[in-house]
Structure 1
Amino acid sequence: MPVPSPVLYPAFNVIRLSHVELAVKDLAASRAFYVDLLGLQVSHEDAEAIYLRAMEERGHHCVILRKADAPCVNVLGFKVFAEADLDAAHKFFADQGLPVAWVERPFMGRTLRTADPHGIPLEFYAKMDRLPPIHQQYALYHGVKPLRIDHFNCFSPDVDASVAFYNSFGFRVTEYTEDEGSKKLWAAWMHRKGGVHDMAFTNGRGPRLHHLAFWVPTPLNIIDLLDLMATTGYVANIERGPGRHGISNAFFLYILDPDGHRTEIYCSDYQTVDPDLEPIHWDLKDPQRQTLWGAPAPKSWFENGSAFANVAARDAVLTAQPIIAP
């Protein structure tokens, strides 16, 4: 299936990804990981949840850690341009036969809860509580110095179908991996905010969250984080990297939180604002696709992911595999 032509005037206007709610078993352990180790800032906390933001963010939160009996992902959040876009989004998803409901969310205005055709729980909003800027409060910078949430990557059982759906409401493909035998998409990177991606899809048992990602100032911040993790009891939480992706050209590191939720630390990708930018094609077997320097990803990177709450995963329709590290 070819990459679909971009829809430049969608039914509603998504600005960017916004936030994720992670269900975690031990709030204290998760707080130590995301706040003390990574350096996210606490916006609010109580006995049931912790709300976090990164250093450049003015919105109240980009991550919610919610106490639960078992780890999972409760929702992925996106910001739309205006209140009218919420009503248009309600009609769009309802017309697709997908669930729609207006929900109350702390620190957020009117919020639409829905799901994509594979069951990924989504929510859209136009207004979130604004907090004072902290990007010049340099005494607060620690850990990996996270500046902002950058993207989500999800396992999809049918990447072609996922791309077609998100394309239909304005997400544009920047890069993609194609299985040359079947001509089906194995992975695709899609954006709204003008980076390489807000949302990516990887072939695999799904839907599941593969990872969330934070943008950091420089690759040296990643090196600092590695030294910190290696000397504070987190060496086993380092899964992959550091390295430079072929796709996106970004410098990266993948780490696991105490519940196994995967986070990518990410910087140095490129701008994709032009609406006529042509997507970059990659062969699934190209060793520089995963890592520009040629190192393949470990098996866990292709198999492990976080379940979405109350959503059953199913096997992928495409069985092709990229190069995997021994």
Structure 2
Amino acid sequence: MPLPTPNLYPAFNIVRLSHVELAVTDLAKSRAFYVDTLGLQVTDETADTIYLRAMEERGHHCIVLKQSDRAEARDLGFKVFSEDDLDRAEHFFKAKELPVEWVERPYQSRTLRTRDPHGIPLEFYSRMDRLAPIHQKYALYKGVKPLRIDHFNCFSPDVDQSVAFYNELGFRVTEFTEDAETGRLWAAWTHRKGGVHDIAFTNGLGPRLHHVAFWVPTPLNIIDLLDLMATTGYVGNIERGPGRHGISNAFFLYIRDPDGHRIEIYCSDYQTVDPDLEPIKWDLKDPQRQTLWGAPAPRSWFEEGSTFAGTEPRPSALAASPIIAP
């Protein structure tokens, strides 16, 4: 199916991805992983919740860890340009007959909660409490030295439908994988902020959260994290990499937190600000699509993900299979 024409004037203006809430089953173990190992900064902490931000971020949080009996992904958060955009967003989602509610969120202005057509929980806000800059407080840098949240990747049961819907929201495709036999999308990378992606979609049982990614300064930070994880009891949490993606050109590492939520550590992609930038097409069977150096991803990378609260995943509409490592 052809890609939709980029929508440069959407119904409301999304600036970028912002944050995600992850339900975890042992908050202390998750704190040790995200704070002591990855190096995210605690901005608030209660008996059942930890708010975290990365080193360049001025907003109060980019990830919320919430104690729960069940590990799952909750709302994906996006920042919009203005309060008026929230009202326009409410009108847009109501017109699509999708659920809409106004919710209270700590450290955020009024927040609109909804779901996309496949059931991914989304929330939108225009203002979050601002914190003092810490990007030059180098004594705080530790772990992988995460600078900012970069993107979400979600399993979708129908990537063509996901791309069409998020195109209506103004997300532009930068790169995509097409199944040569059917002409359908197997995966697509879409953005608002001028990077390769704010949210990507991968064919599979879904919707589920595939991973959350953090941007780091250099590939050497990833090497440092690998050495740290290998000597502090986390060697089994290393899933894939390090390597360089063909898609996005990014240097990457995939790791799993204590509950199995997948985190990507990511750097070295490219800028996509021009509104007429042409998407890059990849064939599903091209071994350099996954990794420029040719190494295929493990089966877990294609099959395992975090379920979204309140949404039952369903099988994908596309049966095509990528190259999988033995």
1:278 pairs with 2:309? no
Partner amino acid, structure 2, of 1:266: Y
| Stretches of structure 2 lacking an aligned partner (at least 5 in a row) | none
1: CA distance, partners of 2:224 / 2:5: 41
Aligned to 1:266: 266
CA shift digits 1:102-126 (9 cap, x unpaired): 0000010010000000000000000
Q: How big is the shift at 1:155?
A: 0.1
Q: How big is the shift at 1:74?
A: 1.2
Aligned to 1:300: 300
2: CA distance, partners of 1:73 / 1:223: 28
1:38 pairs with 2:60? no
Partner amino acid, structure 1, of 2:90: H
How do 1:211-226 and structure 2 match up within 5 A? 211-226=211-226
How do 1:227-266 and structure 2 match up within 5 A? 227-266=227-266
1: CA distance, partners of 2:26 / 2:293: 37
Aligned to 2:14: 14
1: CA distance, partners of 2:202 / 2:72: 18
Q: How big is the shift at 1:48?
A: 1.1
Q: How big is the shift at 1:310?
A: 1.3
Partner amino acid, structure 1, of 2:72: C
Partner amino acid, structure 2, of 1:160: D
CA shift digits 1:33-81 (9 cap, x unpaired): 0000000000000001000000000000000000000100111000000
How do 1:166-181 and structure 2 match up within 5 A? 166-181=166-181
Aligned to 2:104: 104
Aligned to 1:118: 118
Partner amino acid, structure 1, of 2:149: I
**What percentage of aligned pairs have identical amino acids?**
78
Q: How big is the shift at 1:277?
A: 0.2
2: CA distance, partners of 1:314 / 1:163: 18
Q: How big is the shift at 1:321?
A: 0.5
CA shift digits 1:288-318 (9 cap, x unpaired): 0000000000000000000000100000000
Q: How big is the shift at 1:169?
A: 1.1
Q: How big is the shift at 1:4?
A: 0.6
2: CA distance, partners of 1:169 / 1:20: 19
Partner amino acid, structure 2, of 1:137: K
SS state of the match for residue 318, structure 1?
coil
1: CA distance, partners of 2:37 / 2:315: 35
How do 1:3-82 and structure 2 match up within 5 A? 3-82=3-82
Partner amino acid, structure 1, of 2:146: P
TM-score (structure 2 length as normaliser): 1.00
Regions of 4+ moved over 6 Å: none
Partner amino acid, structure 2, of 1:116: D
**RMSD of aligned alpha carbons:** 0.3
Aligned to 1:91: 91
SS state of the match for residue 282, structure 2?
strand
Aligned to 2:206: 206
2: CA distance, partners of 1:169 / 1:73: 22
Aligned to 1:152: 152
Aligned to 1:136: 136
1: CA distance, partners of 2:88 / 2:132: 31
SS state of the match for residue 248, structure 2?
coil
SS state of the match for residue 300, structure 1?
helix
| Stretches of structure 1 lacking an aligned partner (at least 5 in a row) | none
2: CA distance, partners of 1:214 / 1:6: 26
